[in-house]
Chains A and B, each alone.
Chain A
Amino acid sequence: MAKAQGLTWTVEDADQMTQAEIYGAVITQMGQKDKRLVALTADLARSTKIGKFEEKIPERFFNFGIAEANMFAVASGMADAGLIPIVSTFAVFSSLRAAEFVRTDICYQKRNVKIIATHSGTSFGQAGTTHHCTEDLAVMRALAGMTVIAPADALETAKAVEAAVAMDGPVYIRIGRGFEPPLHKDLGFEFQIGKAIQLREGTDLTVIATGVPVRHAVEAADLAKQQGHSVRVLDMHTLKPLDEAAVLAAVKDTRRIVTVEDHSVVGGLGTAVAEAIARSGKGCAFRSLGYQDCYSIVGYPDDLQHHYCIDGDGILAAIGEVLKADFEADEDWADED
């Protein structure tokens, strides 16, 4: 069975484990080897799955009760002692409730703290807007010194967690509630922070997706192919630092880009990609899919992804529209090529 980087979990495990379960398993195994790792949560040991760490390494596990702000301040202090705090709570509480503690105590002070935020986007659909989190990528991207990662599935989450612990400095990893089906079939993909993974080659249009919707982007590209369109798919798991080279290559090669994220179109992947396109000075037809500056409704995650057009159907429709966008016909437009 395939083993990854000396750890004992396997592809088969990861196939059966959700994003949350795999990160729980991975940090527990890492914690057994590396005594610097400490796990922190705020009354969500069971929901986030960081509780697995508690079962095996209770002496380095700390539950702060329902008090997130304090937990992030404490993490900063523990990092000062040379420890590597892994802090886990829901995305909304990590990025919004505790935002200033994360910024001032962790990023500003360059503390080596890893945040694993679960239940991001609308993955906790029925809980309603107070538990959805469609702003965290925007907040975290804005913090200088923060590395921001949104893995697409369990295998990618496992690799992201390992890569985050291996690097020095604060990292924010956002995952879903944990019921997301796998994207990768095996471990034979390279995961490097800041480097997009090309999942489909294409020349007509590029879909750049992050997090759970990456799976839908692949689905949509495969359907588009049946309709005769060649669609590239980039898994942009790292929002910051953004793989600007991959974006520029997409602009150059395909001239049409659709971004997809389980997040607001304000400040997240769509914004980051748009900035890169604008900086390039090249023309590019562009559409960003995500929550269009609204508070998401209640519902099952799959239904919500459909409702907000970040599922296969929604992405396919956007591909069709952006393929039709004929920007070169614009009279004011003088194309450089």
Chain B
Amino acid sequence: MLDAAEKKRLVKKARQLRERIVEVTFTCGGAHIGGAFSQHDILVALYYKYLRLDPAQPAWSERDRFVLSKGHGGIGHAVILADKGYYADKLLDEFNKTGSPFGMHLDRLKVPGVDASTGSLGHGIGIAVGMALGARVTGKSYRTYCLIGDGECHEGSVWESAMAAAHFKLANLTCFVDRNGFSLDGPTEKIMALEPLDKKFEAFGWRVLQIDGHDFDAICGAIEEAQRERERPVMVIAKTIKGKGVDFMESKTGWHYGGLDDEMKRKALESIRRTYPD
């Protein structure tokens, strides 16, 4: 569980990295910032408390795997990997620029620490199923974590992967749904209804946990609960807010993707500092 000091550390890290996402979005001209903020606290909990990693050896075979199946959240992933020491933070100045290793969707062959090149939705979870199955076949103890978008759950392939993970009883796989309620064109329930999402995953054979995806006690509690599970893969449906931390972006369809000018950047940073005071 999470003690007060540790929680404080995670909250602070999450805030600093949110600020970094704003800065990189500003310099790179535009990013999928809304979804980067909704997934953010889950990634921070994983990377700063749970994942067994060695940034000096990105290809270490025993490392825990993390697949960002909603690959457009790449900017959020990239700032974390820089902060973890996989590469110099300065490199992020090149985000989106011609010849840069960093496009909107991260490439595992160009960005150290990235386990799968995602961006086409509905692929990452299948790759994660393969990693978890691979651990079993090779007798390795690493765990596989995956994060999918709620809009991404429209893809039939997500359900094929879900079926396979349950069929093969992959208890070493934990997946999060970033349930921010929006896809690109608008609210998921208006575009293509997903509910009851929990019952769907349950019916597909997963153990389902429902949490507040911005509450570190809840996130850490769910991860530890999943680590204790022995029979089934665990799907953590994390209720989140698209654009979380920046008041003018929160739950706004228009902020799925966007660029920032000086004024917006200043306001975004102010909003983050107000939401997460020291």
Contacts and interface: CB of A to CB of B under 8 A. Distances in A.
Partners in one complex: yes
Interface of A: 41-47, 51, 63-67, 69-70, 92-93, 97, 125-131, 297-300, 303-304, 307
Contacts of A47: 184
B184 A43 contact: yes
A314 to B, nearest CB: 15
Given A65-B154, A67-B192, A298 B185 contact: no
A44 B151 CA distance: 12
B100 A298 contact: yes
B104 A65 contact: no
A54 B151 CA distance: 20
A304 B192 CA distance: 36
29 contacts: A41-B185, A43-B151, A43-B185, A43-B191, A63-B185, A63-B192, A64-B192, A65-B183, A66-B152, A67-B156, A67-B192, A92-B120, A93-B120, A97-B120, A125-B98, A126-B28, A126-B30, A126-B104, A127-B104, A127-B119, A128-B106, A129-B107, A130-B71, A130-B119, A297-B99, A299-B98, A299-B99, A303-B99, A307-B99
Greatest chain A CB density within 10 A among B71, B103, B118 is at: B103
Nearest to A132: B103
Contacts of A42: 154
Contacts, number: 97
Contacts of B30: 126
A123 to B, nearest CB: 14
Contacts of B29: 126
A125 B30 CA distance: 13
Given A47-B184, A298-B98, 6 more contacts: A67-B156, A126-B96, A127-B103, A128-B104, A129-B117, A130-B105
Closest 3 CB pairs of A and B: A65-B192, A128-B103, A299-B98
Interface string B103-115: 1111100000000
Contacts of A66: 121-122, 151-152, 154-155, 183-184, 192
Interface in B167-212: 183-185, 188, 191-192
Greatest chain A CB density within 10 A among B30, B71, B96, B118 is at: B96
Given A47-B184, A299-B98, A128 B107 contact: yes
B98 A44 contact: no
Contacts of B102: 298
Interface string B7-30: 000000000000000000000111
B260 to A, nearest CB: 15
B119 A131 contact: yes
Contacts of B100: 298-299
Contact of B105 (A65, A93, A131): A131
B111 to A, nearest CB: 10
B97 interface: yes
Nearest to B190: A63
A232 to B, nearest CB: 32
B119 A64 contact: no
Contacts of B71: 130
Greatest chain B CB density within 10 A among A47, A93, A131 is at: A131
Contact of A63 (B107, B156, B191): B191
A45 B29 CA distance: 22
A258 B26 CA distance: 41
Contact of A130 (B117, B155, B156, B183): B117
A64 B117 contact: no
